[in-house]
Amino acid sequence: MNAQINVLYVSTSAADAQVLKTLLAGDETGASVRLIPARTAQAFFDALYSEDNYQVAVVDDKQPWSDWQSVIAALSKGRPDALQVLLVEADRPERQVAALAEGLAVVYPRCSAGLVALARLLSKLAARDQGFSLRQESGTVADGAEEESEEERAKLVYAVSHDLQDPLQLARRYAEILNDDFEQELGDSGSNVLGHLQFNLGRTQEMLDELLDYSRLQNTEVDREPIDLNELLDEVKGLYRLTLEEIGGRITCQQPLPTLAVDRRHFHRLFQNLIGNAIKFRGDRPLQITVRSQRVRDEWRIGVKDNGIGIAEQDTKRIFGMFERAGASEDQPGTGMGLAICKRIVQNHGGNIWVRSTPGDGSVFIFSVPLNDDSVEVRAE
Ligand code: ADP
């Protein structure tokens, strides 16, 4: 069960409180932290003498209504069990040292890095009773050096994509605050620059999310169940129905697809990525997507064929790598992670994925699902 902690946040800065809330909301442990802001002396004393239970009190050292020592003294008396955290002016380490010398255990600078550290501390406190950390993955211990380095790589990708979320969310939140509260001061050209900044931060967020998705697929168990691929394809068609109507595109299936024991969620993503790409990289002709399946020896092969722009020979392998794009222009949506994710999904099922393409004519993406596993069911030939 998740623990909940109450945090009294004594600060006049509404922006810092908002940023802290954003950081806490993005935390993956699911731990819950309730932030109770006290911006005025009245609010502080109301909270101090309220019935609420506070496990932590965060105090900004710059209060217009009192010096921080008096606030801390009042807290020590009224809330002796609450952990006290002081936020001091950034770039003034002597303040930090002075506060530590006065017996405060936790002192952070009042800046983005300090707020990130504070959010981490609060999440850790709230997650304390949950008894596990997302960082401690329970993957099997690899024997060979190669497997070990693969595992190391996977951990690195996870750690990078996970740890960059905090500073990025912080940057996005600050940009939002600028947008919402400082429109007048920014003027037209300032707002224009801010627009570009927000666009790029959004793109970075998209890339990071995809990287995190990819990294989660690296150590995941495949949750196999018999899936009728015709139904799955219909679901994906439904997602793109409006777009297809708008562009006059068609998706057809040459014969019924098989039912295979695969991970429903992952195969949905696989079909969605492949069909989404066929739509995105369509040519001038009306789009025609054809899905085919064929049993080849001990595996099923599924092909998604389009009549789009095609892919140059030299790019046909590279595009399955992380963040690799070929014909896509910069302002076309996408991050270059879609096919890397498809490859990971197919490989997790023991199969392979590749593409055959003629530039200007179209492409066919083919993936295989081996039948050497007893759990694979077949209903259509
Ligand atoms: P994204 O779609 O985000 O660019 P993907 O990993 O899904 O990333 O695809 C990588 C690249 O492969 C694309 O940028 C595009 O150049 C090329 N590509 C993928 N699918 C197709 C397709 N059906 N037709 C033509 N090119 C494609």
How confident is the model at residue 147, as a pLDDT?
A: 59
Name 296's bridge partners.
299
CB 56 within 8 A of CB 8: yes
Say yes or no: CB of residue 26 within 6 Å of ligand 1.
no
Single pTM value for the model: 0.66
Query: Is residue 307 predicted with pLDDT exceeding 90?
Result: yes
Query: Is residue 341 predicted with pLDDT exceeding 60?
Result: yes
Across 27-46, average pLDDT: 84
The CA 157 to ligand 1 mean position distance, Å, reads 22
CA 65 and chain centroid, separation: 41
Most confident of 26-40, 50-64, 178-192, 280-294: 280-294
Q: Calculate what percentage of the chain has a pLDDT beyond 90.
A: 56
C-alpha R_g of the chain: 27
Max CA-CA distance within the chain? 80
Nearest to 58 by CA among 36, 78, 80, 25: 36
The CA 219 to ligand 1 mean position distance, Å, reads 25
Say yes or no: CB of residue 279 within 6 Å of ligand 1.
no
Across 104-124, average pLDDT: 86
Say yes or no: CB of residue 335 within 6 Å of ligand 1.
yes
How confident is the model at residue 11, as a pLDDT?
A: 93
As a dihedral over the C-alpha atoms of residue 265, residue 270, residue 271, residue 272, rounded to 10 degrees, the angle is 80
How confident is the model at residue 148, as a pLDDT?
A: 59
How confident is the model at residue 262, as a pLDDT?
A: 95
Q: Quick count: other Cβ atoms within 10 Å of Cβ 180? A: 10
How confident is the model at residue 378, as a pLDDT?
A: 53
Q: Quick count: other Cβ atoms within 10 Å of Cβ 217? A: 20
The region, left, alpha or beta by phi > 0 then psi within -120 to 50, assigned to residue 336 is left
- Non-local CB neighbours of 285 within 8 Å, separated by 6+ positions: 307
Query: Is residue 132 predicted with pLDDT exceeding 50?
Result: no
Atom of ligand 1 nearest to the CA of 309: 25
How confident is the model at residue 120, as a pLDDT?
A: 86
The CA 162 to ligand 1 mean position distance, Å, reads 25
How confident is the model at residue 380, as a pLDDT?
A: 52
The model's confidence at residue 266, banded by pLDDT at 50, 70 and 90, is very high
How confident is the model at residue 31, as a pLDDT?
A: 63
How confident is the model at residue 142, as a pLDDT?
A: 38
How confident is the model at residue 241, as a pLDDT?
A: 94
Query: Is residue 19 predicted with pLDDT exceeding 90?
Result: no
Ligand 1, pocket-test mutation among 277, 285, 317, most atoms within 8 A of CB: 277
Q: What is the full DSSP assignment across 74-111?
A: HHHHH-TTSEEEEEEETT-HHHHHHHHHTT-SEEEEES
pLDDT tens, residue by residue, 46-96: 999 999 999 999 999 988 889 999 999 999 999 999 999 999 988 777 888
Nearest to 118 by CA among 156, 90, 159, 98: 90
Record the tokens describing residue 89, joined without a space: 């002016």
The identity of residue 156, as a single letter, is L
- d(CA 60, CA 12) in angstroms, rounded, equals 8
How confident is the model at residue 312, as a pLDDT?
A: 94
| Average pLDDT over the chain, rounded to an integer | 86
Name 293's bridge partners.
302
Atom of ligand 1 nearest to the CA of 310: 25
Across 324-333, average pLDDT: 76
Q: Ligand 1 atom 16: the closest Cα is on which residue? A: 326
Query: Is residue 379 predicted with pLDDT exceeding 80?
Result: no
- Strands 83-89, 224-228: parallel, antiparallel or unpaired by DSSP? unpaired
The CA 207 to ligand 1 mean position distance, Å, reads 15
Atom of ligand 1 nearest to the CA of 308: 24
Q: Quick count: other Cβ atoms within 10 Å of Cβ 305? A: 20
The CA 310 to ligand 1 mean position distance, Å, reads 9
Nearest to 223 by CA among 262, 260, 259: 262
- d(CA 4, CA 265) in angstroms, rounded, equals 31
Atom of ligand 1 nearest to the CA of 278: 23
How confident is the model at residue 198, as a pLDDT?
A: 93
Q: Taking the alpha carbons of 368, 349, 241, 308 in that order, is the dihedral positive or negative?
A: negative
Atom of ligand 1 nearest to the CA of 365: 23
**Residue that wins the pLDDT comparison between 1 and 230:** 230
Query: Is residue 377 predicted with pLDDT exceeding 60?
Result: no
Query: Is residue 114 predicted with pLDDT exceeding 50?
Result: yes
How confident is the model at residue 315, as a pLDDT?
A: 94
Name 370's bridge partners.
299
Name 300's bridge partners.
295, 369
How confident is the model at residue 131, as a pLDDT?
A: 45
**Residue that wins the pLDDT comparison between 92 and 206:** 206
Q: Among the listed ranges 10-19, 122-131, 258-267, 306-315, which one has the minimum average pLDDT value?
A: 122-131
Q: Among the listed ranges 30-34, 216-220, 262-266, which one has the minimum average pLDDT value?
A: 30-34
Say yes or no: CB of residue 307 within 6 Å of ligand 1.
no
- d(CA 253, CA 234) in angstroms, rounded, equals 10
By 3-state DSSP, what share of the chain in percent is helix, strand and coil, each rounded to 5? 50, 20, 30
Atom of ligand 1 nearest to the CA of 324: 10
Atom of ligand 1 nearest to the CA of 336: 8
The model's confidence at residue 220, banded by pLDDT at 50, 70 and 90, is confident
Q: Calculate what percentage of the chain has a pLDDT beyond 70.
A: 88
How confident is the model at residue 139, as a pLDDT?
A: 35
Q: Ligand 1 atom 14: the closest Cα is on which residue? A: 325
